[in-house]
């Protein structure tokens, strides 16, 4: 791999930023006050447009800019959680009024956000949502229910996809809103999962209110806006993990950042176990003496091979992207192969653990870790697009197979759908 050459622009930008940081960065400032400085200067989101808290710099310069921040240990704008998806959505589809009201407090970290898309009756078929928004002449009145809403319990604002036209075809009857989560018509309840954690929420709307000026884009354009949010969600998945690590330094501003990260990252504590913890398989096979069992050796080999080959597949996808070649099938396969790895890992952990695989908590191997793996892995093949949906995508977009004939055309009102989920 050749070292990328440093452009004159990068040298200039780095020098400018270095000087600005030298003049402004102080660890004993409050986190919010520092971030307002970042927003005013444009250094917080340097690739955003100048009129909206950015400097209009190319995305390619971001690694160099991050490096300058890291060199002095400077904290950036608030980036973890749903907030940046909200910002990206509003930048693309929001009015100037939306951008003025919401962007600054997103970047300062003063407001947190949640995404109100999935419903009990529409998971894979996201466009089949039945939460309704009705205009009463001055404002929108919202009734219905959302599910799997991360951070709803502390969010100030929600990105809401709701049905505004029941006679239009499914995708064309949706509209997009920003809803104030702190109002009487919004009730948030934690949703307990099969692994015992409650990382997500159910959100109930009973005559909740959205002022007319909080509608994003035109009535009926909600699906298009939601697609923007989801595209950013996929693109930012890696970055979110990186930003989720707090800096180890001491000082007021770092303490405040650590608290923010702890709040946002709390729901994700079991995510490593969800992926199967392949890293534990070989050490556990050794330490338990199960390495002598030919069945364990076979299944362990399958798992290690699958896991390693999936990394090579991902690297091939990245290589193709970097060298500007047309993307092969590798990119679309990543989500599906992760499910296979997670399931194989759970089976291997169960095989290695033997009878102890029945136990949980302190009685389970690795102080509960094995039980947590066994009970968290099923999420991998469902969350973020089920394996079945991934296979449809691979079949239709990569292999160019024909689509199944649709039976959900025509007015949404006439399409069969699920009964509401009882409010327990």
Whether residue 165 contacts residue 158, with contact meaning beta carbons closer than 8 Å, is answered with no
Site residues, another protein (CB under 8 A)? 282, 286, 291, 294, 297-298, 300-302, 304-306, 308-310, 312-313, 315-316, 318-320, 323, 325, 329-330, 333, 336-337, 340, 388, 390-392, 394-396, 398-405
Whole-number minimum distance, CB 143 to another protein, in Å? 34
Whole-number minimum distance, CB 420 to another protein, in Å? 27
Q: For residue 163, list its beta bridge partners.
A: 132, 174
Residue found by looking up tokens 């660890």 in the block:
27
Whether residue 130 contacts residue 163, with contact meaning beta carbons closer than 8 Å, is answered with yes
Whole-number minimum distance, CB 323 to another protein, in Å? 6
Q: Which residue from 344, 343, 365, 341 is spatially nearest to 299, judged by alpha carbons?
A: 344
SS3 202: strand
Residue number, 358 or 401, with CB nearest to another protein: 401
First to last CA, the chain: 57
Residue number, 37 or 320, with CB nearest to another protein: 320
Whole-number minimum distance, CB 308 to another protein, in Å? 7
Residue number, 393 or 415, with CB nearest to another protein: 393
Q: Which residue from 153, 136, 238, 240 is spatially nearest to 189, judged by alpha carbons?
A: 153
Residue number, 8 or 294, with CB nearest to another protein: 294
Whole-number minimum distance, CB 321 to another protein, in Å? 10
d(CA 228, CA 88) in angstroms, rounded, equals: 8
**DSSP for residue 182:** S
Residue number, 78 or 281, with CB nearest to another protein: 281
Alpha helices in 128-191 (DSSP H): none
- Torsion angles phi and psi, residue 112, rounded to 5: -110, 160
Q: Kind of pairing, strands 157-163 and 215-216? A: unpaired
Q: DSSP strand E in 57-192: where? A: 113-116, 132-135, 139-146, 157-163, 174-180, 186-191
- Torsion angles phi and psi, residue 135, rounded to 5: -85, 125
d(CA 52, CA 45) in angstroms, rounded, equals: 9
Residue number, 294 or 422, with CB nearest to another protein: 294
Residue number, 51 or 400, with CB nearest to another protein: 400
Residue number, 3 or 138, with CB nearest to another protein: 3
Both structure tokens of 77: 């704008």
Whole-number minimum distance, CB 309 to another protein, in Å? 4
Judged by phi (left if over 0) then psi (alpha if -120 to 50, else beta), residue 400 lies in left
Q: Kind of pairing, strands 113-116 and 186-191? A: unpaired
Whole-number minimum distance, CB 50 to another protein, in Å? 38
Whole-number minimum distance, CB 226 to another protein, in Å? 25
Whole-number minimum distance, CB 262 to another protein, in Å? 37
d(CA 343, CA 366) in angstroms, rounded, equals: 19
Whole-number minimum distance, CB 393 to another protein, in Å? 8
Residue number, 260 or 330, with CB nearest to another protein: 330
Residue number, 15 or 309, with CB nearest to another protein: 309
Residue 121: count other Cβ atoms within 10 Å of its Cβ: 18
Whole-number minimum distance, CB 296 to another protein, in Å? 9
Q: Which residue from 250, 218, 243, 199 is spatially nearest to 372, judged by alpha carbons?
A: 199
Residue number, 225 or 296, with CB nearest to another protein: 296
Q: DSSP strand E in 30-152: where? A: 113-116, 132-135, 139-146
């Amino acid at each position: 791999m050749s070292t990328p050459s440093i452009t004159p622009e990068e040298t200039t930008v780095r020098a400018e930023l270095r000087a600005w940081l030298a003049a402004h960065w102080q660890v004993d400032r409050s986190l919010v006050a520092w971030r307002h400085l970042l927003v005013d200067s444009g250094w917080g989101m340097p690739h955003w447009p100048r009129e909206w808290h950015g400097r209009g710099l190319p995305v390619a310069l971001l690694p160099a800019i991050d490096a300058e921040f890291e060199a002095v240990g400077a904290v950036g704008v608030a980036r973890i959680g749903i907030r940046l998806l909200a910002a990206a959505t509003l930048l693309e589809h929001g009015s100037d009024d939306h951008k003025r009201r919401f962007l600054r407090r997103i970047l300062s970290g003063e407001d947190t956000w949640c995404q109100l898309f999935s419903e009990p009756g529409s998971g894979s078929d996201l466009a089949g949502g039945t939460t309704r928004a009705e205009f009463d002449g001055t404002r929108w009145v919202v009734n219905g229910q959302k599910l799997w809403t991360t951070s709803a319990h502390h969010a100030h604002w929600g990105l809401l996809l709701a049905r505004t036209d029941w006679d239009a075809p499914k995708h064309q009857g949706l509209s997009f809103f920003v809803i104030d989560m702190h109002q009487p018509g919004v009730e948030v309840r934690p949703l307990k999962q099969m692994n015992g954690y409650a990382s997500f929420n159910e959100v109930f709307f009973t005559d909740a209110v959205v002022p007319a000026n909080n509608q994003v884009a035109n009535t009926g354009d909600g699906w298009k806006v939601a697609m923007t949010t989801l595209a950013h969600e996929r693109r930012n998945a890696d970055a979110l993990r990186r930003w989720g690590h707090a800096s180890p330094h001491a000082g007021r501003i770092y303490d405040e950042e650590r608290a923010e990260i702890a709040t946002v990252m709390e729901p994700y504590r079991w995510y490593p176990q969800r992926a199967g913890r392949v890293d534990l398989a070989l050490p556990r096979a050794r330490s338990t003496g199960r390495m002598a069992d030919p069945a364990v050796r076979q299944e362990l080999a399958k798992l290690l091979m699958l896991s390693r080959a999936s990394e090579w597949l991902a690297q091939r996808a990245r290589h193709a992207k970097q060298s500007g070649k047309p993307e092969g099938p590798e990119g679309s396969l990543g989500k599906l192969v992760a499910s296979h790895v997670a399931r194989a890992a759970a089976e291997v952990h169960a095989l290695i653990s033997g009878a102890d695989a029945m136990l949980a908590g302190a009685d389970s191997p690795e102080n509960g870790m094995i039980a947590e793996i066994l009970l968290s892995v099923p999420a991998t093949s469902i969350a973020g697009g089920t394996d079945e949906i991934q296979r449809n995508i691979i079949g239709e977009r990569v292999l160019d197979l024909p689509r199944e004939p649709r039976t959900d055309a025509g007015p949404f009102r006439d399409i069969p759908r699920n009964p509401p989920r009882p409010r327990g």
